[in-house]
Structure 1
Amino acid sequence: MLRYPSLRAPLDWLFFLCVIVLTADVLVPEIFGNGKTKDYPLWYWAGQQVLHGRDLYPSDPNAQFEFIYPPLPAVLLAVPAWFGKIPLYLCLSAINAVAWWMTAQFSNAMTGAGSAPGPWLFALPSFVTITSIFDMYDLGQPNLMLLALMLYGFWLLRDARPWFAGSMFALAIAIKVFPIAVLPYLVWRRQWKAVAGTLVFLLVFLFVLPAPIRGFDHNIAELKTWYRGMVASSSEKGFGQRDEQNWSWVNQSIIAVTHRLTRPVNYNQDDPNKPARTMNVIDVGFRTANLIVAAVSLAIGFGFLAVMPPASRRTERSDAEELGILFCLMTVASPLARQYYFMWLFFPMTVLMHRAALDPRPSVRIGTWRLLACAGILLLLALPLFPIDLQAWGNNLAATAVLAAGLVWHIRHPPPALSPPAGRLQPDVNSAPS
């Protein structure tokens, strides 16, 4: 079902047009204006630091980091950064274009619907997530590329290539850590070779690959500094070098929304010139709020395990719904989940759109469209024309919950007339079923 873009397909022409427009948003300010802003200058700076052998992080892990990612992304950025800013920006835009196309390809091919989507159904997820796709280009964030890597990993698992799949998962984790939430899922599904591949390649990407360029000792020292400053730092003020964002309305993660609801934290702290705003419904301490986060996370995790069908009842359809729930959970489990993180809802929405269009039960089709509309309305509350007070309550988190609930319903209520064969995403041959 996977294919290259075709000049004979009208919607593919629309894709090319969008890519040109979005790339122009990146290049025009740099060529004809005062320079592209957002994260693009940071990527160039990181690449130049590698090229000139300079440090990526301050020696003090408590100091403010400019670059908050592991060393590997900086090493990868150094290659196009050697040619200058415009080649680097053009390269990042091209990667986003490929990631966008492949995300749509994998998402539509992995829904387990049993039939190929028509062109409009194929393009619909891109239409409804176009603002998030714009953010990927405009901000220069890698989340769309990470989504494509993760989907490719699960595509490889379908084709019984677990070690290669693990390399894709490891690359995503080594670039931006939050996809590490895939590991508990792989363990539960007894995908031991994929788990081993992920861990082995993660060591390669973090320790081996940067060593010839950065020096082994230098790379180890930077990894330690990054870990202390980003992963091991947590307090009432925040975590991970971005205290002003952690409890702010811009963060829609389970952790942030729970803390805003349980502690009198200022969710408007990203703008120090405005008065503090709180929204807590109870007043507990930082430690107690963390315990509530842990309890909520465990409840969600055990709930996910409860709805996952055993190996004997798995189908390609149920695997798609299961992975859709997983992508929802990985998105909101990240400690920092800004607006562009919800680009990862592309796959869950694609699965539900296929159910809404192709399910043999008319009432289910109507109900699924209504559920998608409800999630869409919640996501629209993130537009600037709505007050931040609404977004502080977690509109994106609520939309994710709605999508996950719809997938749970479908996984528990498959069409009775359909009994497709077991899907290819199966545990290793020598392992016991879950």
Structure 2
Amino acid sequence: MNGATPVLRWPSLRQPLDVLFLFCCLLLTADVLVPEIFSHGKTKDYSLWYWAGQQVLQGGDLYARQTRGTLDFIYPPPPAVLLALPTWFGKIPFYLTLCVLNSAAWAITSQLSNAMTGSKKIPTPWLAALPGIATITFVFDQYDLGQPNLVLLALMLLGFWWMQKGRPWLGGSMFALATAIKVFPIAVLPYLLWRRHWAASASMIVATLALLYVMPAPVRGFERNATELKTWFNAMVGSSSEKGFGQRDEQNWSWVNQSVIAMTHRLVRPINYYLDDPQHAPEYMNVIDVPYKTANWIVIAVSGLIGLGFIWAIPAYRRMTERSTAEELGILFCLMTVASPLARQYYFMWLFLPLTVLMHRAAFDDRPAVRTGTWTLIGVSMALMVLSLPVFPAFWQAWGNNLLATALLAGGLIWHMHHAPQTSERLVP
């Protein structure tokens, strides 16, 4: 069906799938609030976020609390400052606020992803909802664990949406906010520089520095904020070693991490991928045995090849179309997901945009064989992701089921980028 590009809208009680979405949000919110109200309290990161917000309100040290010699709060100061005010109202209102943020981010992610596919078609309600259904386990993790990755995804999509609307400074500020909350979105900056998005790049750099150094200062004090930033940086960025990195040594090399860094090290060094479970017998998957420094050089080489492959795949500016731009951003989100040093299960929520773009290609391409092939690729990728469910052994995640699914999705996007229908139009800057 042809029509105008969809825009952000409120859910409607007249739309059955919108009602289903709201019902899912209520169920996921209940998963957070019911244990807090009727049981022993919600676990995971909720209590940590609440503690950090309270530390800001009470003037305490954000990095004072440690478990077995590692920091409990491993984020930079800005998110704690941003969440301080909601914690003033108590745990239940605070947890509810986080759930509302996740629900809003989920809706924004779905609507923007469907609006940014470059297909110039309005999807049917079921097609628009399909990426959300396909990634529901990742969404559950965001609510259940109290992780901000869904909110970060919405911010990144908003950033590119504003850039496409001719407001790069606003777009760059969205990237900056995501980076100030959880640093791995900074991976978008090299892309912005390569594509010569100078205004967005400058906005991101300036806004990131302002959020890290200026925004917390009136609350924490300039000197104290600088000291806490240094503590965080040394602990999270400057702590890499053979044992691990980022204050989570037992997780970084284990099966829970499917980043390019972790997968490469597990394949080239004899690492027990059950490091996070001392009760489990050690298991290894390395095909060669090299020293730690050599493994890091292999990571650099692999990452460099992936980066060069991305540069080769994307078209020159004069050949860009709305379709190719959507596919390019889909590949970029795939790469940002696995480029993060720690890519646990819930990080793959960022595959929402790549999946949406490919589903639009599978639904609207005028070549029957291409539609069939694209749906098959999506099906294989989803089957690989299903292997992360707890009913399957961790062996599959150790060998990178989600990483392989990400590679397949990126490969499908590259194919479509280089085999677009002849009717594709030039992107108007």
Q: TM-score, normalization: structure 1?
A: 0.96
Alignment correspondent of 1:414: 420
- Taking the TM superposition and a 5 Å limit, the aligned residue runs for 1:180-199 are 180-199=186-205
Alignment correspondent of 1:69: 75
Task: State the Cα deviation string for residues 110-138 of structure 1 (Å, max 9, x = none).
Answer: 00011111101000001111111111110
- Taking the TM superposition and a 5 Å limit, the aligned residue runs for 1:233-312 are 233-312=239-318
- Alignment-mate amino acid for residue 412 of structure 2: G
**Does structure 2 conserve the Cα–Cα contact (< 8 Å) formed by 1:59 and 1:225?**
no
**Does structure 2 conserve the Cα–Cα contact (< 8 Å) formed by 1:319 and 1:423?**
no
Q: TM-score, normalization: structure 2?
A: 0.97
Task: State the Cα deviation string for residues 1-26 of structure 1 (Å, max 9, x = none).
Answer: 11221111111000110011110111
Secondary structure of residue in 1 paired with 2:71: coil
For residues 209 and 237 of structure 2, the distance between their equivalents in structure 1, rounded to whole angstroms, comes to 17
Alignment correspondent of 2:163: 157
Secondary structure of residue in 2 paired with 1:249: coil
For residues 71 and 212 of structure 2, the distance between their equivalents in structure 1, rounded to whole angstroms, comes to 19
**Does structure 1 conserve the Cα–Cα contact (< 8 Å) formed by 2:257 and 2:342?**
yes
- Taking the TM superposition and a 5 Å limit, the aligned residue runs for 1:182-221 are 182-221=188-227
- Alignment-mate amino acid for residue 351 of structure 1: V
- Taking the TM superposition and a 5 Å limit, the aligned residue runs for 1:285-434 are 285-416=291-422, 418-424=423-429
**Does structure 2 conserve the Cα–Cα contact (< 8 Å) formed by 1:325 and 1:407?**
yes
- Taking the TM superposition and a 5 Å limit, the aligned residue runs for 1:129-148 are 129-148=135-154
Q: Across the two proteins, how many residue pairs are aligned to each other?
A: 423
- Alignment-mate amino acid for residue 424 of structure 2: S
1:101 matched to 2:107? The reply is: yes
Alignment correspondent of 2:88: 82
For residues 24 and 214 of structure 2, the distance between their equivalents in structure 1, rounded to whole angstroms, comes to 38
Q: Structure 1, unaligned stretches of length 5 or more?
A: 425-434
Q: Structure 2, unaligned stretches of length 5 or more?
A: 1-5
Alignment correspondent of 1:7: 13
For residues 42 and 58 of structure 1, the distance between their equivalents in structure 2, rounded to whole angstroms, comes to 12
Alpha-carbon shift at residue 288 of structure 1 (Å): 0.6
For residues 134 and 395 of structure 1, the distance between their equivalents in structure 2, rounded to whole angstroms, comes to 19
- Identity level (%): 66
2:28 to 12, 22, 27: 22
Task: State the Cα deviation string for residues 165-197 of structure 1 (Å, max 9, x = none).
Answer: 010000000000000000000000000000000
For residues 65 and 53 of structure 2, the distance between their equivalents in structure 1, rounded to whole angstroms, comes to 19
Structure 1 segments (4+ residues) deviating >6 Å? none
For residues 419 and 201 of structure 1, the distance between their equivalents in structure 2, rounded to whole angstroms, comes to 36
**Does structure 1 conserve the Cα–Cα contact (< 8 Å) formed by 2:102 and 2:142?**
yes
1:226 matched to 2:253? The reply is: no
For residues 235 and 373 of structure 2, the distance between their equivalents in structure 1, rounded to whole angstroms, comes to 46
Alpha-carbon shift at residue 423 of structure 1 (Å): 4.3
Alpha-carbon shift at residue 39 of structure 1 (Å): 0.6
Alignment correspondent of 2:173: 167
- Alignment-mate amino acid for residue 119 of structure 1: P
Aligned CA RMSD, in angstroms, stands at: 1.3
**Does structure 2 conserve the Cα–Cα contact (< 8 Å) formed by 1:48 and 1:78?**
yes
**Does structure 1 conserve the Cα–Cα contact (< 8 Å) formed by 2:11 and 2:18?**
yes
Secondary structure of residue in 1 paired with 2:406: helix
For residues 144 and 176 of structure 2, the distance between their equivalents in structure 1, rounded to whole angstroms, comes to 26
For residues 64 and 99 of structure 2, the distance between their equivalents in structure 1, rounded to whole angstroms, comes to 29
Q: State which drifts further: 325-334 or 74-83.
A: 74-83
For residues 14 and 156 of structure 1, the distance between their equivalents in structure 2, rounded to whole angstroms, comes to 29
**Does structure 1 conserve the Cα–Cα contact (< 8 Å) formed by 2:253 and 2:262?**
yes
For residues 26 and 225 of structure 1, the distance between their equivalents in structure 2, rounded to whole angstroms, comes to 31
**Does structure 2 conserve the Cα–Cα contact (< 8 Å) formed by 1:38 and 1:140?**
yes
Alpha-carbon shift at residue 385 of structure 1 (Å): 1.1
